[in-house]
Chains A and B, each alone.
Chain A
Amino acid sequence: GAVVSQHPSRVICKSGTSVKIECRSLDFQATTMFWYRQFPKKSLMLMATSNEGSKATYEQGVEKDKFLINHASLTLSTLTVTSAHPEDSSFYICSARDESGTSEIEQYFGPGTRLTVT
């Protein structure tokens, strides 16, 4: 099946610094990738939809200048949390849609990145 990787799996950073999270589709090309955030015992919250070669579409309430998304190739999307604050500490998950196969609408999830801001 389709595999999506994320790096790093865990990161601890100091308040005010920036952190980049990578999401890669390993065996398929993904025109569309999604970035989610999940707080403990809460539902996944879609932050933005990342489109290869164009600007990301952000959900209401998500600051695009704080959460920078770059989808420069069909296999890589990055999320950069700029000027991180402790309240940005969360589990960040990406997913990708394999639009070349028969199951075009299924999303494949990466393993997630646990961000802790101290």
Chain B
Amino acid sequence: GQNIDQPTEMTATEGAIVQINCTYQTSGFNGLFWYQQHAGEAPTFLSYNVLDGLEEKGRFSSFLSRSKGYSYLLLKELQMKDSASYLCAPMDSNYQLIWGAGTKLIIKP
């Protein structure tokens, strides 16, 4: 079957760094997306990895290891507005996104 595993909730301090891990199992693989979702809003795109390695984009970086079925999202210089849910979504062989429940990130001052 297809499965996503992320921590349910994480807490971090403003200005700090946090890493959100994701392990996945899918039928085929066409890359992995990270989305941010604020409460009551639709997801917004953060990153896409299709090859192994680290992709850096400003304060956010995303890493992928296809052989391990593992990805992480790294958030630096945390701001209060980063409080949201972070969704790891691999894409299967049919180009469908597979969704988990996401990780709720709480930022404290």
Contact = CB atoms under 8 A, between A and B. Distances in A.
Interface of A: 41-46, 49, 91, 93, 103, 105-112, 114
B35, B87, B91, B99 pick with most chain A CB within 10 angstroms:
B99
Interface size class of B (residues with CB under 8 A): 20 to 34
Given A105-B30, A105-B91, A44 B99 contact: yes
Contact of A106 (B41, B45, B87): B45
B40 A46 contact: no
Given A49-B96, A106-B48, A111-B41, 7 more contacts: A42-B101, A43-B101, A106-B33, A106-B45, A109-B43, A109-B45, A114-B40
Interface centre among B45, B48, B91 (most CB of A within 10 A): B45
Given A42-B101, A43-B101, A105 B41 contact: no
Contacts, number: 41
B104 to A, nearest CB: 8
B42 A109 contact: yes
Nearest to A6: B42
